Amino acid sequence: MKKYLVEFIGTFFLVLTVGMTVIDPVVAVGFAPLAIGSALMIMVYAGGHVSGGHYNPAVTIAAWLRGRCATADVPAYLVAQVLGAAAASFITLYLKSDPTVTPKEIVFVPALIAELIGTFALCYVVLNTATAKATAGNSNYGLAIGFTVTVMAYALSGISGGAFNPAVAVGGTLMHLVKVSNLWVYLVANFGAGALAALTFKFTHPDDK
């Protein structure tokens, strides 16, 4: 139960930061990727030792395929993450006083590629810095994981909006940043990238079970 609460809390703060910095920003444009990646970083450092600090269904799938998330935990993790994203979305809309939000326009193929690339980077960094035996005990995993979202958001948010996370995509839909008719793009690309990253990990770490 405590693991699910930690996943709820972490995803809540990640999606709250997305909503509050992207919708009708009060801070200068350009800082949102820094804030969002840092939100992931702080929650990975705060909760990693309890739940693994996924806060992202694609990461949960990647960790499960790599053998670092129990099968019995997967559904509850996904539920906790989506509930955290939903709670953050409603609080964001309340704090912003029902803002007028213009959903991101995307083109399907480039957006699919951008979400695939960005989510692959995130899951690849998670598996290599937080689950590989060769990097056990380091203090940099949260910095590396959080700043992967910062980097990919600077690089790719112009193409796809930059979710790299099905829970963020669901939250983005509830906050009208993502069109409901585009949600499948994120789900397909993000989960696909998580699986691809797990395969890549197995290939590059053949002796690390």
Binding site for its own copies (CB under 8 A): 2, 5-6, 9, 13, 16-17, 20-21, 26-35, 38-39, 41-43, 45-47, 49-50, 91, 94-95, 110, 113-114, 117, 121, 124-125, 128-129, 132, 134-135, 138-144, 147-148, 150-151, 154-159, 200, 203-206
Q: Which residue, 128 or 173, is less far from its own copies as judged by CB?
A: 128
Q: Which residue, 72 or 133, is less far from its own copies as judged by CB?
A: 133
Alpha carbons 107 and 4: distance in angstroms, whole number: 35
Min separation Cβ 123 and its own copies, Å: 10
Tokens found for residue 52: 């693994």
Min separation Cβ 192 and its own copies, Å: 16
Q: Which residue, 138 or 180, is less far from its own copies as judged by CB?
A: 138
Q: Which residue, 180 or 188, is less far from its own copies as judged by CB?
A: 188
Backbone angles phi, psi at 176, to 5 degrees: 65, 15
Distances (CA, A) of 145 to 34, 105, 107, 118: 13, 27, 27, 12
Alpha carbons 205 and 122: distance in angstroms, whole number: 17
DSSP letter, residue 62: H
Alpha carbons 60 and 74: distance in angstroms, whole number: 7
Q: Which residue, 27 or 70, is less far from its own copies as judged by CB?
A: 27
Tokens found for residue 164: 């790299």
Min separation Cβ 197 and its own copies, Å: 10
Distances (CA, A) of 35 to 27, 29, 38, 44, 167: 10, 11, 5, 14, 18
Min separation Cβ 101 and its own copies, Å: 16
Min separation Cβ 4 and its own copies, Å: 10
